Amino acid sequence: MQRKINLVIWAFVLVFGIFEHPVFAQSSTSFPFGFPTSHEDGNQVLSLREVRNIASYQAQLTWGRAYRIVEIPCVDLNDSLIAYQVVFRLVDKDPGNVSDNDETALTEETYMEIQQKIRNGRELFRAASERVRVAEQEMRKRISRKEREIENSSENGIERDLNKNQRKPISISPTEEFKNAYEEREKGRRLMTGARSYGTVLVTVQEGLVPIPVVSHGLPHFYRKADLMEQVAKSTIGGAPRINKIYMTGPLDQWFEFKTEQGEKVLVDPFRMRATISEEAKADLPKKLNMSLPKEEAMAKRQSLLQNAHRELSK
């Protein structure tokens, strides 16, 4: 009887652990561009469960109802786990209107489904930006025509202020085409960045670092630019490079290490879309993350966040 109870308890622990960590619930093919690795070396002061609690608490404060999708590990230049980017799917409905099926769909949305939204957003943004450019040109032409009409009127003796410096700026109403194109461009921007639909909370885990330095309204580069960075890496080292690590040297300073099956590595800057051979780039990066606090202050802040998170999430 005792053996059966132990088996049931272990089965519960295993199942709970799998569903508690979204990454484990998906196969390796869920991340076709690779998933970053990391390791703990004793410098970490927060467990993954505490990271999730702090991130969920911060997400609740910032966006209201949100579902955690995945935790993306980041490392320092010593390859030691330094932070997690915790990604959330935001819900713009009242809690009472979200069914169990809605929640399942939100938490099980695959990486490639999100990637497809991003690619659709890029195309929409590109096409709408061209429409905005053309519409702006048309409006500038209308302004030029009005200016010429005013000049012609003054030459014909119509009473008006001839001092150009005292003239009121000519204003025209935006055309329907401009307004529609602008709205489409903003929709494309939201799709390709994940704004209003996703949020990211960065939680540092090493001693002395601020636990919650950054909240981002949208998706991290791991989602937004992985396909583009892969192309940059492939053009540099060839083969089939996959994301191996994410080096973090600041809240907004990240380098993605891509690695081939043959062991060749390259670092890609997601902001400039520039590739550098790993060891050369690492030598030039800042050696310390510029987010540190005095040990006692960091500890007090960390404990306060954990207590607040436990209190709010237990309601």
Strand positions, DSSP E, the chain: 66-75, 81-90, 198-204, 214-216, 242-250, 253-259, 265-269, 274-277
Strand positions, DSSP E, 190-306: 198-204, 214-216, 242-250, 253-259, 265-269, 274-277
Q: How many CB atoms lie within 10 A of CB 243?
A: 22
Please tell me the predicted confidence (pLDDT) of residue 24: 37
Share of the chain above pLDDT 90, in %: 41
Name the more confident of 109 and 27. 109
Q: Enumerate residues 6+ apart whose C-beta is below 8 A from 34.
A: 241, 242, 243, 244, 258, 259
Which of 52-66, 109-123, 229-243, 278-292 is predicted least confidently? 278-292
Two tokens, residue 29: 């093919």
> Half-sphere exposure (CA, 13 Å, Cβ side) for 74?
26
Provide mean pLDDT across the span 117-140.
94
Domain positions in the chain are 33-92+196-313, 116-193
pTM (two decimals): 0.74
Name the more confident of 49 and 313. 49
Whose tokens are 């309204």? That residue is 217
Provide mean pLDDT across the span 199-221.
82
- Tens of pLDDT along 143-199? 888 877 777 765 555 445 545 555 566 777 888 999 999 999 999 999 999 999 999
Is the pLDDT at 241 greater than 80? The verdict is yes
Closest CA to 199 of 218, 181, 182: 218
Provide mean pLDDT across the span 281-308.
57
Please tell me the predicted confidence (pLDDT) of residue 142: 85
Residues 102 and 104: their CA atoms lie apart, in Å, by: 5
Please tell me the predicted confidence (pLDDT) of residue 313: 58
Mean pLDDT for the chain overall: 77
Is the pLDDT at 4 greater than 50? The verdict is no
